[in-house]
Chain A
Amino acid sequence: MKACVTAFCVSVTLIVCATVASQDAPPAAKRDKESVYGEIDKAPEKARAKRNPFEQNAEAVTAGKILFEQRCAECHGEAALGGKKAPSLRAIEVQGASPGAIFWILTNGVVRRGMPVWSKLPEPQRWQLVTYIKSLGTAPSETADDLTKKP
C-alpha cells in the first residue's frame, strides 16, 4: 500500500512538472517574430501542387467539419478563428494557400510550435479537413495584419 501511495505521488508530481514546464514556454508569437503563418511558405512546390481529390465535394465538407470539431477546434476555435494555442485558419494566409500546402502542414505538423503531426489521420481524412477549412473562407472582420499578431 505504501509503495502504491508513493508511486501515485511520484506520478502526480511528474505530470505537474511536465505541465508546468510545457506552460513555461512563451507563446509562439513572442518566441518568434516571424508570422505564425510562415510555415505555409515552407511547403515544397510538389506538395503545393497536389490536387484535393475532394474539392467541391459537399459530403467532404460535412465530414471535414466533424473531423475539425473532434481534432482541431480545441486549439483553433469552434469557428476556426484561432485561440490561445493556435492561429486563425480563416486568415488570408491560410485561405489563400493552395489545398496542397494546407495538406502538407496537416501531415507534417509544426512540431516546434506545438502543432502535432496529423499523418495519423488517413490521407482522405486530411483532404476532407482541407476541404472544410477552405470552405470557411476569410473571416470578414479580420485583416491579415491583425491575424499575424495572433499567437
Chain B
Amino acid sequence: MSASHSRLLSTFVFLLLALLLPARARSQESPYLVTYDHYLEEPGNLEIEYFSTFGTQHGGNDFHAPWIELEYGATAWWTTEFYLDGQTTFNDSTLFTGFRWENRFRPLKREHFINPVIYVEYAKLSGADKIMKEVEGHDVASDFAEPNSLLRQETKHEMEFKLLLSSTYKGWNFAENTLAAKNLSNQPWEFGYALGASRPLQLAASSKRCNLCRQNFVAGVEMYGGLGDRHSFGLRDTSQYLAPVAAWNLPSGWTFRVSPGFGLNDNSHGFLLRWGLSYEINGFGEMVGHLFGRGR
C-alpha cells in the first residue's frame, strides 16, 4: 500500500469513528498536559487520548514522541489509566518505548479549598522513552542525544507516586503536583514537581449551542521540572520548563489541547511542542457490562 493510500485510509477510519461514536458526551477537560488537577474521570466513562511531544535537541536529532492514553472512571473516587508510549527520532528510528499504568484516588468525599488526590503509577519503559509526561530527578536534555540503538538497551521498571493538590477559585484552577519516583533496579528516589493555573475564557454558558463559544476554551500556564534525587535534592543539574496551555472542549466530546513549552535553563530542551486530541465515551462501563451479561 502506497503512502497516499495509507493516509487516505487513516483519514477515512478517523472520520468514520468520529461519525459512529456517540454524539453527546461530557467534555470539560483541563488544558494541562503535565500537571494534574483533582478532577477524575466520570464513573463508567472511557476517554481515549492521543498526545505527542515534539522536542528540539542540542547535539542530537529532534524527536517526536506520541502516546496513547485510555482513561477510565472506575468509580467517582478512582480513575485508572493505561498508556502506550512511542517515539520517532529524526534521522534515526521509530520505537515503541513501553507502557504505564496509573491510578488516581480521591480520598475526600467533598470539595475543600485544597483537594488532594493520590497518584500511583507503574511504568515499564525503555531508556529511549521521550514523551516527557513528567520531568524528574536529574533528567536533562543531553540524556536524549544518544542514538536510539543505545538508549533502548536500558529497561526501567519504575514506581511513581504523586500528591496532586488542586483548588478552584472564581473560575481559576490552581494545581500543585509533587512526585517521587523509584526505579526498581536499585536507583535512588527521584523527585519532581508540576504547577499549573488555568481558567475558561468565559464562566457562564451560552444559551446557544456552539462550538466556538468562549466557554469552550480554557487557557493557562504550567511549569514543571526535576528536583534532584535522594542524594542531591534541589534544582542543581535539573531541567525546568514553562509552558502556556490551551484546550478547546467541543460539546460533541472531543477535546483538543496544545502547549508550546520553553526550557528555562541550559539543561532543558530549548523548545517542546505538545498537542493532543481526546474523545470521551459516555457509559462505556455499562456497554462492557452488557457484553458480560450484566444489567440485563
Contact = CB atoms under 8 A, between A and B. Distances in A.
Nearest to B44: A22
Given A14-B82, A108-B111, A119-B111, A19 B285 contact: yes
A109 interface: yes
A137 interface: no
A119 B209 CA distance: 22
7 shortest A-B CB distances, which residue pairs?
A124-B204, A122-B203, A62-B207, A11-B82, A18-B74, A7-B99, A63-B205
Contacts of A62: 207
Looking at B73, B111, B203, B206, which has the most chain A CB atoms within 10 Å of its CB?
Answer: B111
A23 interface: yes
Interface residues of A, number: 49
Given A4-B96, A8-B84, 7 more contacts: A10-B82, A19-B44, A60-B207, A66-B251, A70-B26, A116-B42, A128-B204
13 contacts: A4-B96, A7-B84, A7-B99, A14-B80, A19-B289, A20-B289, A23-B285, A63-B207, A64-B205, A70-B26, A111-B77, A114-B43, A120-B37
A66 B111 contact: no
A79 interface: no
Contacts of A8: 84
Interface string B1-39: 000000000000000000000001111101000000101
Contacts, number: 141
B216 to A, nearest CB: 11
Interface in B216-275: 251
B170 A125 contact: no
Nearest to B290: A23
> Would you call the interface of chain A mostly helix, strand, loop, or mixed?
helix
A120 B72 contact: no
Given A116-B76, A125-B203, A15 B46 contact: yes
Contacts of A84: 286, 295
B145 interface: no
A128 B168 contact: no
A111 B75 CA distance: 8
Taking residues whose C-beta sits less than 8 angstroms from the other chain, chain B's interface range is: 35 or more
Contacts of B87: none
Interface string B36-77: 010110111010000000000000000000000010111111
Contacts of A25: 75
A123 to B, nearest CB: 7
B196 interface: no
Specify which of A3, A10, A85, A120 lies most central, judged by the most chain B CB atoms within 10 Å of its CB: A120
Contacts of B168: 119-120
Nearest to B25: A70
A73 B39 CA distance: 20
A19 B76 contact: no
Contacts of A70: 24-27, 251
A42 to B, nearest CB: 9
Contacts of B295: 23, 84
A74 interface: yes
